Amino acid sequence: MEVLTNLINGMSLGSVYAIIALGYTMVYGIAKMLNFAHGDVIMVGAYICFCSVSYLGLPAFAGVALSVVGCTLLGIIVERLAYKPLRNAPSLNVLITAIGVSYFLQNAALIIMGSDPKSFSSIISLPALSLFDGKLTISATAVLTIFACVVIMVALTMFTGKTKMGKAMRACSEDRDAAQLMGINVNSTISMVFAIGSGLAAIAGVLMCLAYPTLMPTTGSMPGIKAFTAAVLGGIGSIPGAALGGVLLGIIEIFARAYISTQLADAVVFGVLIVILLIRPAGLLGKPVNEKV
Amino acid sequence: MLSVYNINVWYGAIQAIKGVSFEVNDGEIVALIGANGAGKSTTLKTLSGLLRSRTGSITFMDQDLMHMPAEKIVEHGLVHVPEGRRIFQQMTVEENLDMGAYTQAKDTIADNLERVYAQFPRLKERRRQIAGTLSGGEQQMLAMGRGLMANPKLLMLDEPSMGLAPILVEQIFEIIEALHKAGTTILLVEQNAQMALSIATRGYVLETGRVTLTGTGQELLRNDDVRKAYLGG
Ligand SMILES: Nc1ncnc2c1ncn2[C@@H]1O[C@H](COP(=O)(O)OP(=O)(O)O)[C@@H](O)[C@H]1O
Ligand SMILES: [Mg+2]
């Protein structure tokens, strides 16, 4: 039963990575940039939820809603101010800017919220569920997280596959000039993708803090890097790839912690990434890169 | 219908278009011919708003296009089918056509789709196929069909015969003539000067960013300089 518990916890952690990785991968797909500030949006989302509930006394669901709205706006503003002016700049410039945004968000949080950790469990905590006469205990948080990930995946798949805006997004990701010739407004489409990715990051932030309830200005960094790893593992630019990469990474991490060593877990995770990229350089579900002439 | 006056276009420090002026009248097929690198594609990209001219004017059906964003230019019926097809490889044939109709209202889309499928039965057979798996000729048909989905008043085709087998080239030119007969005005960019001029009402010869010669299709076909430079003697 311990294996099963670990598996569920792994899937739950992986679901958080997957939701974050979706933002990475969609933004990469359309803007061809690695948004290294994406992880910090998670942290901002968690703080917004924390503040709404503990200082404003709002119910938890309202806190989550505010956090999604806040991060969506944050995503749009960051893109508009920091990345849009660099639309035709070399990718190194954009990367450095993204790292700058990351530091900016962390330090802004440090100034506003202070460096002392906030305990998320003081505002929201879900019970543990006991199954099979107590032989299997799983947390409601884990179930909720996995469920949220599935709902988000289904919704995104329908959005990109069936809606006009979703198809426009795919068109822009493939060929920005051609998309413009179709009459698609590329700037607003990119803005929309940042909005979706950041809104999802807010949800990931809340879900993650339910499972790992210590909230600090640096809370988003490590999950951000892991989710980036997950996006690369699945094949950067691929939405199903991000989900697969995220879940796999979460499971590997939890099992490595349980059966190998807590300290070595992260090393194992990144080791797996390296091995898989050696075998499949484009990631599990990625398309081999063919440079456009 | 389209009037281009004294446009100058740069890529960074390199000037690709040097004071080009020309016109396209309603109902014409106008051919723009010239060697590789003459500036034909750059001209079309400037008309569709992907590139900007620093000077002059571009007027299409009484609209000033000089500062209009690319996505608005399509709405006015100036539609550009780019060089190298540039279809969305990972989308299905029908999704590509849907994207072509991005600016159109829902009920027009259904009509246009029917029209395009009637014109290109091959595309209808392959509507669910991923566009990247089509053959070169089919991809060109898709690129043209996608352009038609936008209800073009003036259709700009950039080297539609490029890389196709002779029989397919014939077929593409037949389709261009059919579209023209059905009422679409066409601005045709081609390296295949013989074919282009033989169906063109008028033509312009572009050399290193300048218009060096103009006349009716037949006049240009008979012109000695054109014959030497583009028709192999
Ligand atoms: N993206 C670009 N950057 C710099 N120079 C370019 C670019 N595209 C085209 N050029 C240059 O502009 C000139 C005209 O190119 P183009 O319009 O593509 O010619 P054509 O379509 O007639 O073959 C050429 O000298 C070409 O090298
Ligand atoms: Mg060209």
> Does some domain include residue A292?
no
> Does some domain include residue B226?
no
B86: CA distance to ligand 2 center in Å?
13
Q: Does A177 touch chain B (CB under 8 A)?
A: yes
Bridge partners, B40 (sequence order): none
Q: How many CA atoms lie within 13 A of B23 on its CB side?
A: 8
How many domains would you assign to chain B?
A: 1
A226 token code pair: 């892991």
Counting from 1 in the atom list of ligand 1, the atom nearest the Cα of B36 is: 23
In which residue ranges of chain A is pLDDT below 70? 288-293
What local confidence, expressed as pLDDT, does residue B233 receive? 62
A178: CA distance to ligand 2 center in Å?
15
A174 token code pair: 């493939």
What local confidence, expressed as pLDDT, does residue A288 receive? 66
What local confidence, expressed as pLDDT, does residue B199 receive? 95
A46: CA distance to ligand 1 center in Å?
50
> Does some domain include residue A255?
yes
Using a pLDDT cut of 90, give the percent of chain B over it: 93
Q: Best residue in A181, A184, A239, A292 to probe B by mutation, most B CBs within 10 Å?
A: A181
> Does some domain include residue B195?
no
What ipTM was assigned to the predicted interfaces of this complex? 0.94
Query: Measured between CA atoms, how close is A185 to chain B, in angstroms?
Result: 6
pTM, 2 dp: 0.91
> Does some domain include residue A130?
no
> Does some domain include residue B63?
no
Q: Does B69 touch chain A (CB under 8 A)?
A: yes
> Does some domain include residue A147?
no
Q: Where are the alpha helices (H) located in chain B, listed in sequence order?
A: 40-47, 70-75, 93-100, 106-119, 121-125, 136-148, 166-181, 193-199, 217-222, 224-230
In this structure, the residues whose C-beta lies within 6 A of any atom of ligand 1 are B 11, 14, 16, 34, 36-42
Q: pLDDT of B23-80, one tens digit each?
A: 999 999 999 999 999 999 999 999 999 999 999 999 999 999 999 999 999 999 999 9
> Does some domain include residue B94?
yes
> Does some domain include residue B10?
no
> Does some domain include residue B22?
no
> Does some domain include residue A95?
yes
Q: pLDDT of A13-44, one tens digit each?
A: 999 999 999 999 999 999 989 999 999 999 99
Q: Which domain holds residue A63?
A: 2-113+155-279
Q: Does B133 touch chain A (CB under 8 A)?
A: no
Using the structure block, give the residue that is written with the tokens 């599990």: A284
> Does some domain include residue A41?
yes
How many domains would you assign to chain A?
A: 1
What local confidence, expressed as pLDDT, does residue A132 receive? 77
Residue B230 has pLDDT above 90, yes or no: no
What local confidence, expressed as pLDDT, does residue B30 receive? 97
Counting from 1 in the atom list of ligand 1, the atom nearest the Cα of B11 is: 4
What local confidence, expressed as pLDDT, does residue B191 receive? 86
Q: Which domain holds residue B126?
A: 82-151
Q: pLDDT of A182-220, one tens digit each?
A: 999 999 999 999 999 999 999 999 999 999 989 999 999
> Does some domain include residue B135?
yes
Asked if A210 and A124 count as a contact pair (C-beta separation under 8 A), the reply is yes
What local confidence, expressed as pLDDT, does residue A291 receive? 44
Are the beta carbons of A180 and B103 separated by less than 8 Å?
no
Are the beta carbons of A174 and B89 separated by less than 8 Å?
yes
A280: CA distance to ligand 1 center in Å?
36
> Does some domain include residue A119?
no
> Does some domain include residue B116?
yes
